Each structure stands twice: as C-alpha cells, then as structure tokens.
C-alpha cells in the first residue's frame, strides 16, 4: 500500500485556503519552542493560530515551565505574519501516568508514545471543538523520532469524534526539521536532550 504524503495533504488544504482568500482559525498543539519555530513561521502565513501548550508527559514542573516560557518568548520575538495567541495549560503529570501505566518499559517510538500522542491530541481536539476553531493539529510531526503516520491517523480519528477537521501534516518534510534547528540557533532556544517523560530521560 502506498504511504500517504501528509505534507502534500497539507499543501492541498493551504491551496484551497489561499484560493478562497480565507484565514481559518487553527488550534496548534505545541510540545516545545524548537519544534514550534518552523511550524509557526510556515503556518502563520495562512492561519490565525492559537498555540496550546499541553504536555503532562514532561518529567517535572520545572522542565514544563521552562519549555513553556521558551515558547512564550519565541512567539513574542518572531516576526509572525498573523497574530499568534498562546494558552499554557496547568501542569498535571497524573494525566500522563494514567495512560502510561503498564507501558513504562516501552522504548521511545512504541505503544507508550502512541498513547502519549493521543492524550495530547485529544485535549487539542476537545479544546478546538469547544472554542469553534476551524482546524486542529500538532507540531509533533516535525521530529524525525515521531511517527507521522500514527499522529495523522490519531488526528483523523479524533477529528471524527470531535467533529473538527484535523490539519494533516508532516512538518519534517521540505527541510522543516533543518529549518527548526536554524531558527532554534537564531533565537537561542533551549533544546532539551530528551523527549519529555521520565522514561525518555531514563533511556537517554
Ligand atoms: S518518549 Fe516522548 S512521546 Fe514517548 S511517552 Fe515519553 S514523552 Fe511521550
């Protein structure tokens, strides 16, 4: 079976938006400032974005607050085409430990991660649906360590459940990951050396 090119899917959606001269409201789940940098540079040309920082997977509150503050600084400092809002959710790591229970020994990229993607995307879908956004998506697909097919299939499932379109994406394509590294250097962003949870820290 041919793999779906999710970057091409994104381009099709963007072409439709440009053709119809629209500026849809996008709820963008973000994991950290480095991953958001390229995604914001790219998508803020076409969407009115609210960034949702919801990552109960992050190992400590201190790390959570630092990643959130770097994201806040980036949004203030980047010359973005359209205004970008940010909503930082309260830290509650219990929500992550509930879904990770029984999957503590999985390696990064396994079932625990798929559950972690869904936890975060579900919050984004619910938020976007309740606040009447036009689309929701996540920055997560920019990382070469994240499974884009899984992310997009979870997004599609939740889009049906919450009745809100998921913006398909594979941000690592078209040199997106490389550009995120350049922007991280340019804005001197904190780039963590582990994904987020205590298990990814353990396996570093
Ligand atoms: S390694 Fe990353 S994606 Fe996987 S469970 Fe931990 S924080 Fe979530």
4-51, pLDDT tens digit by residue? 999 999 999 999 999 999 999 999 999 999 999 999 999 999 999 999
Closest-CA residue, ligand 1 atom 6, reads 197
Closest-CA residue, ligand 1 atom 3, reads 113
Q: Which CATH architecture has domain 6-202?
A: 3-Layer(aba) Sandwich (3.40)
Which residue, 152, 158, 179, 180, is CA-closest to 7?
152
- Ranges of each domain in the chain: 6-202
Is residue 116 marked as binding? Answer: yes
Closest ligand 1 atom, residue 55 Cα? 7
Q: What pLDDT is stored for residue 203 in this prediction? A: 87
Closest ligand 1 atom, residue 100 Cα? 5
Q: What is the pTM of this model?
A: 0.97
Which residue, 150, 192, 140, 193, is CA-closest to 171?
140
The pLDDT-based confidence of 1 (bands split at 50, 70, 90) is low
Note the pLDDT tens digit of each residue in 41-67.
999 999 999 999 999 999 999 999 999
Note the pLDDT tens digit of each residue in 60-106.
999 999 999 999 999 999 999 998 999 999 999 999 999 999 999 99
Residues 174-193, mean pLDDT to the nearest whole number:
96
Structure tokens at 144: 């070469």
CA of 193 relative to ligand 1 center, distance in Å: 13
Is 62 in contact with 96 (CB distance < 8 Å)?
no
**Which residues lie below 8 Å from residue 91, measured CB to CB, with a gap of 6+?**
56, 58, 61, 64, 65
């Amino acid at each position: 079976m041919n793999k779906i090119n999710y970057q091409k899917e994104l381009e099709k959606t963007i072409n439709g938006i440009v053709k119809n001269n629209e500026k849809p409201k996008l709820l963008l789940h973000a994991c950290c400032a480095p991953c958001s940098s390229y995604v914001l540079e790219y998508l803020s040309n076409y969407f009115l974005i609210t960034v949702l920082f919801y990552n109960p997977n992050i190992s400590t509150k201190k790390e959570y607050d630092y990643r959130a503050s770097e994201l806040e600084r980036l949004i203030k400092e980047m010359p973005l085409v359209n205004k970008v809002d940010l909503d930082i959710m309260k830290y509650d790591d219990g929500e992550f430990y509930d879904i990770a229970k029984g999957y503590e020994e999985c390696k990064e990229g396994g079932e625990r991660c798929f559950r972690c993607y869904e936890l975060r995307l579900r919050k984004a879908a619910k938020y976007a649906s309740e606040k009447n956004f036009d689309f929701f998506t996540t920055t997560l697909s920019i990382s070469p360590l994240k499974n884009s097919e899984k992310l997009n299939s979870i997004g599609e499932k939740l889009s049906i459940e919450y009745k809100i379109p998921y913006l398909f994406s594979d941000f690592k394509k078209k040199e997106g990951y490389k550009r995120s590294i350049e922007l991280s250097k340019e804005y001197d962003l904190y780039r963590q050396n582990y994904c987020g949870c205590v298990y990814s820290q353990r396996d570093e």
